[in-house]
Amino acid sequence: MGNKEPRTRLKGSITMAELARKCGYSKATVSRALADDPRVKPETKALIWDMAERYNYRPHQVASNLAKRRTKTIGLLFPSAPRTIADPFFLEYLHGVSETLFEQGFSLLIPQVKQQRVTETIEQLIAHRRVDGVILTEPRLEDERIHLLQESNVPFVFLGSTVNEDVSWVDGDNRGGICQGVCALGALGHGRIAVITGEEGLVSAKKRFLGYQDGLAALGLELNRDLVWPGDFTRQGGYAAVASRLNQIRSGEVTAILACNDLMAIGAIQALNEARVRIPEQISVMGFDGIEVGKYLSPPLTTVQQPVYSLGREVARVLLGLIAEEHGTVHVTLPVSIVNESNTIGPAAPHGAA
């Protein structure tokens, strides 16, 4: 009955003006009704919703965005070399981010990853008013991006804690997590624990190193500079760090290696395997991050699990809150925990010391 409209499903579904006409109301009322504005009489609302449904009305995002001066898109910056978007950590993280954003109708703008000129990229994003907010990763101790963003007034959040107090961030408990790791090793009798550090200049690298020191202190151990092996958060870095120090390992000068992320732990394991050093019998290896691929190893990597997916969701949530002005600067730290315990770590062997 009275339902023989063209029914252009999907194709060129009707516009708000048309819907308004069909309802016998003005565009304004329809707009309000659809936005569930309390000023519209319930019956009117019901009618309009009904008709909208009946005529399969779909709001036109772009038009709405223009009128509301927003873009409904978020810029997502991945770390540049040596870490790339191909780092497995970031896929799980992206998973969380994109899911939350999609739920709220947001799109993602992911600039070229190669881009060395970070500054330019950011300027582009905000200058063209292409984004309502920006998500960044891997804050540095001195981070030029922060000034840029702050000047521009575009809301932004970091994955990873910053040194600037007035910047919002979401992070796993780096310092505490590494400290836990050291303690777990200590509990197994390890007294000579080497650390492969992260990329110089990154806040996370620094925090994790502090965690290492905390752990040593908790165990009553001294910091030994020979056991601090510089790394850069890449697998190749972890490999190189170990490959060049096999003598220290063979001599028993070190009985456990704590890599500041899983990728380096994986590299370290490869170097050890090639050198036929057995894990965990001859040496223990522990990572940090808890990326999926750690489980692909045999045996699976013992590591400190970050809630990667949740970090992604949380980052997105915080940014959305910032955009909606529901809150100001916030800092969120999520807990971490050791997983796959006793896979790649084991009791310290009573090696002959060097």
Partner DNA sequence: CTGAAAGCGCTAACAA
Partner DNA sequence: TTGTTAGCGCTTTCAG
H/E segment holding residue 228? strand 228-229
Q: Does 313 bind a copy of itself (CB under 8 A)?
A: no
x/- contact string, 139-168, with a copy of itself (CB under 8 A)?
A: ------------xxx---------------
Which range of residues in 24-32, 39-47, 119-127, 253-261 is near a copy of itself by CB under 8 A?
119-127
Choosing from 56, 164, 213, 337, the residue that interacts with a copy of itself (CB under 8 A) is 56
Q: Return the number of the residue (85 or 339) whose C-beta is nearest a copy of itself.
A: 85
58 binds a copy of itself (CB under 8 A): yes
Question: Should residue 56 be labelled a site residue for DNA when binding is judged by CB under 7 A?
Answer: no
When asked if residue 64 is in the footprint of DNA (CB under 7 A), the reply is: yes
Rounded CA separation 115/121 (Å): 8
Find the DSSP H helices in 128-261: 144-152, 174-187, 203-219, 235-243, 246-250
Tell whether residue 297 is a contact of a copy of itself (CB under 8 A): yes
CB of 62 to DNA, least distance (A): 7
- Give me the residues paired with residue 135 across strands: 76, 157
| b/e 184-204 (16+ beta carbons within 10 angstroms → b) | bbbebebebbbbbbbbeebbb
Q: Are 312 and 96 in contact (CB under 8 A)?
A: yes
Confirm or reject binding of residue 337 to DNA (CB under 7 A): no
| 81 lies in the site for a copy of itself, by CB under 8 A | no
**Residue 45 CB, nearest distance to a copy of itself (Å)?**
21
66 binds a copy of itself (CB under 8 A): yes
| Nearer to a copy of itself among residue 50 and residue 274 (C-beta) | 274
Q: Which residue has the tokens 């992320």?
A: 261
Segment near DNA (CB under 7 A); pick from 67-75, 159-167, 321-329, 334-342: 67-75
Report yes or no: 157 and 311 within 8 Å, Cβ to Cβ.
no
Closest CA to 341 of 132, 169, 184, 128: 184
Helix (H/G/I), strand (E/B), else coil: 1: coil
CB of 132 to DNA, least distance (A): 14
Residue with tokens 């998973």: 95
35, interface contact from a copy of itself, DNA, none, CB < 5-8 Å by kind: DNA
Alpha carbon distance 234, 310 (integer Å): 23
The pairing of strands 284-289 and 107-109 is unpaired
β-strand 284-289 against 303-305: which pairing, if any?
Answer: parallel
8 scored as a contact of DNA (CB under 7 A): no
The token pair at 31 is 């707009």
3-class secondary structure, 125: helix
Size of the chain in residues: 354
| Among the listed residues 25, 78, 106, 212, the single contact to DNA using CB under 7 A | 25
In the complex with a copy of itself, the residue whose CB is nearer, 151 or 326, is 151
CA dist., res. 229 & res. 247, Å (int): 14
Q: What is the DSSP letter of 141?
A: S
Residue from the set 4, 9, 11, 68 that interacts with DNA by CB under 7 A: 68
Asked if 311 touches a copy of itself (CB under 8 A), the answer is no
* Residues of the shown chain interacting with a copy of itself in the complex, contacts defined by CB under 8 A: 9-11, 13, 56, 58-63, 65-66, 71, 73, 84-86, 88, 90-92, 94-95, 98-99, 101-103, 107-114, 123, 126-130, 151-153, 235, 266, 269-270, 273-274, 292-293, 295-299
* Residues of the shown chain interacting with DNA in the complex, contacts defined by CB under 7 A: 15-17, 24-29, 31-32, 34-35, 38-42, 44, 58-60, 63-64, 66-69
